[in-house]
Amino acid sequence: MVGRNVTIERRWARGNHDRLPELAQELLHLNPALIIGGGNVAALAARRATSTIPIVFVIASDPVKLGLAKSFAHPGGNATGISMMTATLVLKRLELIQELLQQNATVGFLVNPDNQDLLQEIDDIARSTGRPLKVAKARNPDALEPAFRQLVSAQVGAVLVSNDAMFFNLRAQIVALANRHSLPASYEFREFPAAGGLMSYGPSLVGTFQKIGTYAARILKGARPDDLPIQQPTEFNLVLNSATARSLRIQIPPSLLARADEVIE
């Protein structure tokens, strides 16, 4: 129980990923029983800092390609966790935003450039679909406004906001920018339309972290990371915000409403 037999130490890079190696070393000096890392860059920083202390991660990409694990079934080292496999969701989110807009709009993509693996995945998706994605980059809060201005200048019809820990923490600001610039935006997690965003499609973040907590508990009780297979989400929810759609003068097609898991009024 936290406060009795478990102590939690947190370190936050505040959008400056260059500090992650330093912060990882700070945690190592505390001799922790376990490290939890959220996001590709944080998980990689933790893995580079230690090959012995167990690591439980939540990442957006393929952990094998990132070098975090040998395989999903048998991670083969000191790290395991959940892979959101965001790249596979991008194609579905593209399909859904096109269906919502009922037109073949040019789509922009907001991404943190520190996440090079996701940038490569976006390039691969663009090639596979034969359609260019207008990429706007923001690695800190100050870069968000210029990124949205770039998307507006590129005359995109919609924007997909990538899975990024910084973007999630700044979701109110990102949603406000998208709505102020009249840009229909798609997000991965329900928390964005709950904050006024247009739509989301992806796994439950709450459910994901509950699974991470289960893995952490098992490791603290003696399980080895290599004995815990890397999990992937199996359920995905479509959430629409009808009030935001009306403010953007978007008529949600009945077929999309019928498939929505939740419609926020």
> Percentage of the chain surpassing pLDDT 70?
98
- Interacting residues of 198 by C-beta distance below 8 A, sequence separation 6+: 100, 178, 184, 185, 186, 240, 241, 244, 245, 248, 250
Q: Other CB atoms closer than 10 Å to residue 51's CB: what's the count?
A: 10
Q: Which amino acid is at 180?
A: R
- In this prediction the pTM is 0.88
Decide if pLDDT at 25 tops 90. yes
pLDDT at 257: 95
If one compares 123 and 144, the residue with the highest pLDDT of the two is 144
Decide if pLDDT at 261 tops 70. yes
Given a contact cutoff of 8 angstroms between Cβ atoms, the answer to whether 136 and 151 are in contact is yes
- Closest C-alpha among 141, 145, 138, 132 to residue 181: 145
Q: What is the dihedral of CA 222, 1, 189, 64, to 10 degrees?
A: -20
Q: Other CB atoms closer than 10 Å to residue 259's CB: what's the count?
A: 12
Most confident of 60-64, 89-93, 150-154: 150-154
> Percentage of the chain surpassing pLDDT 90?
68
pLDDT at 22: 94
- Interacting residues of 6 by C-beta distance below 8 A, sequence separation 6+: 220
Instruction: Tell me the pLDDT of the chain averaged across its residues.
Output: 91
Given a contact cutoff of 8 angstroms between Cβ atoms, the answer to whether 174 and 167 are in contact is yes
Q: Which two tokens stand for residue 232?
A: 């992937």
Classify residue 130 by its DSSP letter: T
pLDDT band at 90 (very low <50, low <70, confident <90, very high): confident
Q: What is the pLDDT of residues 222-258, one digit of tens each?
A: 999 999 999 999 999 999 999 999 999 999 999 999 9
Q: What is the pLDDT of residues 156-165, one digit of tens each?
A: 999 999 988 8
Decide if pLDDT at 87 tops 80. no
Q: Where are the alpha helices (DSSP H) in the chain?
A: 20-29, 40-49, 63-66, 86-101, 116-129, 144-153, 165-169, 171-180, 191-194, 205-220, 242-247, 254-259
pLDDT at 3: 60
pLDDT at 194: 97
pLDDT at 1: 57
Given a contact cutoff of 8 angstroms between Cβ atoms, the answer to whether 89 and 186 are in contact is no
The mean per-residue pLDDT over the stretch 162-185 comes to 94
The mean per-residue pLDDT over the stretch 20-38 comes to 93
pLDDT at 2: 60
Residue with tokens 């959101």: 84
pLDDT at 56: 97
Task: Establish how many alpha carbons lie within 13 A of residue 6's alpha carbon, considering only the half-sphere containing its beta carbon.
Answer: 11
pLDDT at 108: 93
Given a contact cutoff of 8 angstroms between Cβ atoms, the answer to whether 118 and 91 are in contact is no
Query: CA angle 192-195-198, nearest 5°?
Result: 60
